[in-house]
Amino acid sequence: MIEKRVFGRTGHLSTRVIFGAAAFSDVTQAEADRTIDLLMQYGINHFDTAASYGKSEVLLGPWVKHNRDKIFLATKTGERTYQKAKEEIQRSLERLQTDHVDLIQLHYLVDPQEWEVALGPDGALAAAVEARAQGLARFIGVTGHDLAVPKMHMRSLERYDFDSVLLPYNFPLMQNPEYAASFEALAALCKIRNVPIQTIKGVTRGPWGDKARVRATWYEPLEKQEDLDKAVWWVLGRSEMFLNTVGDIHVLPRVLDAAARFEHRPSNQEMQALVAQAEMAPLFV
């Protein structure tokens, strides 16, 4: 089974591997059901989806309807204004067939202009706060991609006391001195405030570039089990981090297998050898 850790101030004892339901963006209901069965075998009790993840919320709904108490359920709104975010949150609840989510997150909040709108008086944050007051959500988080995201999350935490953050974290990316410094500053603040850090893109090999996209992920994932072991173990080797899984249901079983066998964090030398051997490259430059 996979290790559990208290998910910050929420108090929920979450598996350190969180199911990233972007993997359900474009699969069948039967494929989604089989994947959920696999997640249950590994004891995964924390699911993360979003309104913008294609069919994800719809495919999760039938299972959530009958098993709501088995998981910590998170979704996201990518809207920036109060009214549109309010409508999207309600639509997510309908799709997920539940009367509440545990965590509503402001999705991909990195652009400074969008940030000002979303966290302004008539922004998406107001809709999330209202949803929490109405019992439609229990906690509020913020997510993002790109090199600027750690600094923007710092700004977000200065503006509002968010309950969680989500951002990219992998070995090649952390070799970028600027990103690494801003990530560590964010991690230090999160530790003080008891804000859990969800990490994404942990098993990225690099951008697809000119290669044919043979996986559902918008980045090329690592494929070999031994490579995935190292990438997954490197993230889990930092005890305060949560690992959101890969966005492809066919790679997912290998990620879960790696996490279930976690032993220790690979050394920098081992990771550098993996980068060279697998020809890994930073996703964001």
**Mean pLDDT on 223-241:** 98
In this prediction, residue 161 carries a pLDDT of 98
Q: What is the pLDDT of residue 140?
A: 99
Distance CA 128, CA 105 (A): 8
Taking phi first (over 0 means left), then psi (-120 to 50 degrees means alpha), and beta for anything else, what does residue 209 get?
left
10, 51, 115 from 118: Cα distances, Å:
23, 16, 5
Domains in the chain, CATH or no CATH each: 4-277 (3.20.20.100)
Q: Whole-angstrom Cα distance, residue 88 to residue 131?
A: 11
pLDDT band at 48 (very low <50, low <70, confident <90, very high): very high
H helices, E strands: number in the chain = 10, 12
Local confidence band at 266 (pLDDT 50, 70, 90 cut-offs) = very high
Q: Assign 46 to helix, strand or coil.
A: strand
Map residue 2 onto helix, strand or coil: coil
Amino acid at 101: V
Q: 257 exposed, middle or buried (CB, 10 Å; 0-12, 13-18, 19+)?
A: middle
Q: With 90 as the cut, is the pLDDT of residue 62 above it?
A: yes
Rounded Cα distance between 136 and 204, Å, is 34
The per-residue pLDDT for 154 is 98
Q: Percent of the chain, pLDDT > 90? A: 99
pLDDT given at position 156:
98
Residue 176 DSSP one-character state:
S
